[in-house]
Structure 1
Amino acid sequence: MREIEELIRNQTAVPYTIPIRLKVSIPLDDLLIFSAFTDYHNSLFGDLKIKFKINPHAFVFCQVNLIISMAKYYTMNEDELLGRSQQNLKNIDFMFRNWNLTFQYAKQFTQLGYTADLITELHAEPLTESGLKNLVCDIKPVTISIKNYIITEITANMAGYKATDACLNRVRYFYSQCPFVVPAKRVEVWPFPTSATLTGIRTSQNIPLSHVTDFSLLFLKEAKAATCIENLCYQNMQITTCRHNFPDTPMNTLDQQFFQLQLNESNLDLLFEATDEFEDTLATPRNTATRKLNSLTDLTSFLITLQCERNSNGALTFDGLDTLNQNTSVELRGAPIYQGATDSYCNVDTSGK
């Protein structure tokens, strides 16, 4: 708090500019990447590298509870505060005693560059002539953006993978006798041409499919959204392409079957565990038939993953959909669980365009 005050004290122009240090940790859990590093060792075929790019607009922010932040500040700087004037201690005590809960914290992240309602000022207003006061907070829309950034250090978290000497020797012998192929994944992004309406979504896109193993669906509330994606709370959702439905039965994005489906298809049911935020996003209702519900935790990690598999005579068949570079229709359809004013997927196109 004190650092922020000192940084903006001499700034007269709005917006204020504040340097911030961030720790970026990239979780690496792609099994195919580690398979390539294990099977195709650098000493065999030259350098294998992992390259990634950081999108500065994908960073997020969230306002913390001021009373909790003040309590931590008081605890960490107790000796210094006690050495100051008694008025400072009275002000802190006044805040603790009079803080009200009229401001509902969203408890969710907001992407940089977007606007959120934040507490911008606290002040006391007199209630009676005897000196009784009331603590009032000013709430205003605030936009936090990133102007530039410098990467100084990055850490990565990964599970342990190691090839034994016997394995490497066998790989060397095998590939000394025949050509080798390094498998790779490619992610293609295709937006659907139409958005949701008040009654749901039914849209299609004609695209070529080349050995497609998974469909991943993101439902953006804003065109520039890259990080904060919420559960749209839809039912009867399904993708149809190549004469197959994925999944076999329509989905409800809040029921137990959908929850287990997403854990299975994201490989989060065995070796890797889902974060609490991801599980909450899949399982927490955002509305009822009569009202929207405030979030008790961050619910902006929503993603639908559908493996291209089908039920064939009781056995699961992975097709790896391939249309031989020919366009084919990919249709998405679904409807909100609750329609009208309580529809939590607010970015609807009422004009039907």
Structure 2
Amino acid sequence: MPIRFRFSIPLDDILVFSGFTDYPNSLFGDLKIKFKINSNAFIFAQVNPIISMAKYYTMNKTDLMASGPDKLKNIDLLFRNWSLGYQYTKQFTQMGCTADLITKLSIEQITDSRLKNLMCSINPVTLSIKNYVVTEVTANMSGYKATDDCLQRVREFYANKPFVVPSQRVEAWSFPTSVTTTGIRTSQNIPLSHVTDLCLLFPKDSRSTTCYENPCYHNMQVTTCGRNFPDMLMNTLDQQFFQMQLNASNLDLLFETTDEFEDALTTPINTASRRLNPHTDLTSFMITLQCERNSNGALTFDGLDTNNQNVSVEFRGAPIYQCDTDCYYNVDLKGKRPPPPILCSIHDTFWLFGPANGGSCVYDVNNTFDEVISQIQG
């Protein structure tokens, strides 16, 4: 069944363009962006049937009242007997992956006294996108018109100096080994170039690109270049870890976290005795480790840099609860195991624009901020 929908991606939400402000396109030329949609990154979730039924009742109340009492009794039975304990997937699942969804709701008579019972059928369902077509692309960008005198001064200023836009680049690396029943201790040899942050993702499927859950681990730490990140061992469910993630994502002061992100960081999905069935979406989990210190507004890089030489990055941790209730090692009840964790390195990069030949652009991934600034000041 074909589905049409629209989605909006603001330009400054794209990491590599987050630093663009006051770009003088009349001097350096217009920007052109090529993009590719990853159909596997789309997600789906089942709407709570109670909410769906309530909306149906509200929209069709008049017709239902006129149709007789039977339909109203069935709706009332649904509301009264609905159980939060139904073991269907109540969070987002990535396209191409399998979720346990409600495939049938029925009202069945169970006794001769005409008593009725609510029956709920739950089955594994896999949704996939076979094909997609982009029918329209639009862009809304604000700007202002500059006078000829202003443009001339800008042109003179940048005649021999680049127009610098700070940016970031993400590289993803899978660790070579997966978790075991006792945890994980693994390392990856990678080059580090002006790295400001390290991120850890814990996929439960090799196709995961969007949905990641809390592994519920403790004694976690990353070690590289003779330094530990963070300084103390992490527990992904304690208050100190939550505050550290808010600080690393700049969500501790001016900006507030979303409910989904907060739930993913704070909601346990298992105990020592059983696995818990989430009642909200918990698939927005990631660990961000700051590699450079907060510099009180000073633009000074003190992150990780090995001049693009390989260095060992070691990751270790252990499950808070082992055996059957380990929700990361035991992906499902059929013996499925997760792929290795993913390490992402966040690098400082820069766009350097110049007016030569009608406009030139260089994406600088090799120089530090101080080296780039020296080109402007020199």
Shared fold per TM-score greater than 0.5: yes
1:126 to 109, 131, 150: 109
| Aligned position for 1:339 | 322
Work out whether 1:245 is the aligned partner of 2:245. Answer: no
SS of the residue 1:294 aligns to = coil
**Which moved further from structure 2: 178-187 or 241-250?**
178-187
1:326 to 309, 312, 330: 309
After superposition, residues 83-232 of structure 1 pair within 5 angstroms as 88-89=71-72, 91-100=74-83, 103-152=86-135, 172-232=155-215
CA contact (8 A) 2:15 2:168 kept: no
Work out whether 1:33 is the aligned partner of 2:17. Answer: yes
Deviations 1:127-184 (A, max 9, x none): 22232222212221111111122334578999x9999999988754431243444444
1:233 shift after superposition: 1.1
**Which moved further from structure 2: 62-71 or 87-96?**
87-96
| Aligned position for 1:22 | 5
The number of residue pairs the alignment matches comes to 330
In 2, Cα distance between equivalents of 1:203 and 1:161: 49
1:223 shift after superposition: 0.7
In 2, Cα distance between equivalents of 1:177 and 1:45: 13
CA contact (8 A) 2:242 2:266 kept: yes
- Unaligned ranges ≥5, structure 1: 1-17
| Percent of paired sites with the same residue | 67
Work out whether 1:290 is the aligned partner of 2:273. Answer: yes
In 1, Cα distance between equivalents of 2:144 and 2:315: 41
In 1, Cα distance between equivalents of 2:252 and 2:225: 29
**Residue type matched to 1:284 in 2?**
T
| Aligned position for 1:14 | none
CA contact (8 A) 2:43 2:92 kept: yes
- Which structure is higher in RCO with an 8 Å CA cutoff and minimum separation 6? 2
**Residue type matched to 2:111 in 1?**
T
In 2, Cα distance between equivalents of 1:57 and 1:154: 20
Work out whether 1:76 is the aligned partner of 2:59. Answer: yes
SS of the residue 1:262 aligns to = helix
Q: So what's the TM-score if we normalise by structure 1?
A: 0.80
| Aligned position for 1:6 | none
CA contact (8 A) 1:23 1:154 kept: no
CA contact (8 A) 1:248 1:311 kept: no
In 2, Cα distance between equivalents of 1:179 and 1:111: 42
| Aligned position for 1:12 | none
1:201 shift after superposition: 0.9
Shift in alpha-carbon separation, 1:83–1:236, aligned structure 2, 3 A: same
SS of the residue 2:218 aligns to = strand
1:63 shift after superposition: 1.4
**Residue type matched to 1:119 in 2?**
I
CA contact (8 A) 1:265 1:307 kept: yes
CA contact (8 A) 1:217 1:303 kept: yes
Shift in alpha-carbon separation, 1:89–1:31, aligned structure 2, 3 A: closer
Work out whether 1:257 is the aligned partner of 2:240. Answer: yes
**Residue type matched to 1:307 in 2?**
Q
In 2, Cα distance between equivalents of 1:288 and 1:157: 48
Shift in alpha-carbon separation, 1:125–1:179, aligned structure 2, 3 A: closer
**Residue type matched to 2:287 in 1?**
I
In 2, Cα distance between equivalents of 1:269 and 1:153: 38
1:114 shift after superposition: 1.3
SS of the residue 1:36 aligns to = coil
SS of the residue 1:226 aligns to = coil
1:100 shift after superposition: 4.8
Shift in alpha-carbon separation, 1:104–1:164, aligned structure 2, 3 A: farther
CA contact (8 A) 1:218 1:303 kept: yes
1:289 shift after superposition: 1.8
1:329 shift after superposition: 0.6
**Residue type matched to 1:124 in 2?**
I
SS of the residue 2:229 aligns to = strand
CA contact (8 A) 1:198 1:349 kept: no
Q: So what's the TM-score if we normalise by structure 2?
A: 0.75
